[in-house]
Homo-oligomer: A and B are copies of this chain.
Amino acid sequence: MTVLKVGLAGLGTVGGGTWKVCEKNSDEIIRKAGRKVKIVAVAEPARNKFLSLGENGISYFSDAMELIEVPEIDVIVELIGGDTFAKMLVLKALKNGKHVVTANKALLAKHGNEIFEVAEKNRVTVGFEAAVAGGIPILKVLREGLTANSIDWVAGIINGTSNYVLSEMEDRGISFDQALKEAQDLGFAESDPTLDIEGNDSAHKLSLLASMAFGIKINLDKILVSGIKDLDLKEVIYAKKLGYKIKSLGIARRTDSCLELRVHSTLIPENCLMANVNGAMNAVMVKGNSVGNTLYYGQGAGAEPTASAVVADLVDIARNSIGNVSARVPALSYQSNHIRDLNILEDGLIKSGFYIRLRVLDRAGVLADVTRCLSNEDISIESFFQKKPREDENSTDVVLLTHECLGKNILDSIKAIKLVKNVIDDPIILRVESLK
């Protein structure tokens, strides 16, 4: 059996990990793939990174575009990142008849529809397991493991940085700012953490998960995104008091013929498995209409965990090409002629429970006024508590959990609540999900 020849573009964290995994597990991979998966060329502007591999007989290029011109290369592994050069590289590789494996979620979230179309036209594969939830083979699960199901929803902790920060806030009662700073010092957060803490990284991943789960085009722009950066420690503490934890979830849920696509801080019951996914770990729950609830857990980032997914895609390609069937499994799980549009719901039309925190002056009657604002919108209250004000305070926090209702009803009731006498400051609102 011939060798699968790989051109590796980018020797950063994941590129270096991919090199290492291919080396150390080379025998294992042959045993499973039935052929050798070999990196025959590397492209990396920083030549010293290539030299540090200490490898002879591997072609070196500073410019990844040159990889594409090497006729013997079967697969380009794109681990450069960004979405301009990487897009050109990937499209050109596919048009040259080369398979592509990438960990680039931003690229696929923005240009995946075009990229997958070009791949199909050229009868080559785009593997992107590493783009979502690192080492967890969640795309394989959706694309092949749960094919018997119509998926009801997918909900994931798919940003390790956010989960690390939230876990620290909860475990140690520290503020968002302090938790983020520590995460940066420990290398769990980037020096510019914007993509993570504003929810956009989760949105990139969610766009891919949703497409595979529901057989729709990738819809990054339609995702409702809010990150964790404005979360007050108070919410974490009050949620705990109510038996919940706050997790930043990416949620894609089918309701009738519509779809919810959203990333936001969410209260979930503390006794569910997802609530126990701590630190930088990732987990994705999938509810199928046959299988019920399932959960997949592992490291969502890091050199070797992510490389585990990159190399699994290479093994898939190696096995596919034994039978020369590059298109055996469609990239987005559904056959491309079966990809549909679903109406994606706006925030106001999405149902869930809600957590509301109000700051009120410590006067009689305010709670009666607030609950009237809710009942006027047909919102019923599941539980509430009012914090006893400290002696030096004349205002206090009131926290309410509502039963399931529409987002727009909450917004309307909040408008009214803001006008209630003795309610001060803007109310804080978070969604609550039972994940059942």
Contact = CB atoms under 8 A, between A and B. Distances in A.
Max chain B Cβ within 10 angstroms of own Cβ: one of A290, A295, A327: A290
Interface string A326-360: 01111001110010000000000000000000000
A290 B304 contact: yes
A147 B294 contact: no
A144 interface: yes
Contacts of A135: 288, 290-292, 294
A56 B145 CA distance: 31
A31 interface: yes
A224 to B, nearest CB: 26
Contacts of A333: 32
A30 B338 CA distance: 9
A131 interface: no
A148 B31 contact: no
Contacts of A31: 215, 334-335, 338
A388 B316 CA distance: 60
Contacts of A312: 144-148
Contact of A334 (B32, B136, B289): B32
A298 B147 CA distance: 15
Interface stretch (A3-11, A20-28, A202-210): A20-28
B308 A290 contact: yes
Given A308-B149, A320-B328, A328-B323, A140 B144 contact: yes
Nearest to A1: B335
A184 interface: no
A24 B288 CA distance: 12
Contacts of A311: 147-148, 290
Contacts of A15: none
Copy tally for this chain in the complex stands at: 2
Nearest to A333: B32
Contact of A294 (B136, B310, B320): B136
Contacts of A149: 21, 25, 28, 308
Max chain B Cβ within 10 angstroms of own Cβ: one of A129, A291, A311: A291
Nearest to A339: B31
A21 to B, nearest CB: 5
A227 to B, nearest CB: 25
Contacts of A328: 319-320, 322-323, 325, 328
Interface in A269-307: 271, 273, 276-277, 288-299, 302, 304-305, 307
A12 interface: no
Given A24-B289, A295-B296, A297-B294, A147 B33 contact: yes
Contacts of A215: 28, 31-32
A261 interface: no
Nearest to A145: B137
30 contacts: A25-B148, A28-B147, A29-B148, A31-B335, A32-B330, A32-B333, A32-B335, A33-B147, A135-B290, A136-B294, A137-B141, A141-B145, A144-B316, A147-B316, A273-B276, A273-B277, A288-B308, A290-B304, A291-B308, A293-B298, A294-B297, A296-B297, A297-B297, A319-B328, A320-B328, A323-B323, A323-B324, A323-B327, A325-B325, A325-B328
Nearest 9 interchain pairs by C-beta: A323-B325, A137-B145, A148-B311, A294-B298, A135-B291, A31-B338, A291-B308, A295-B297, A147-B315
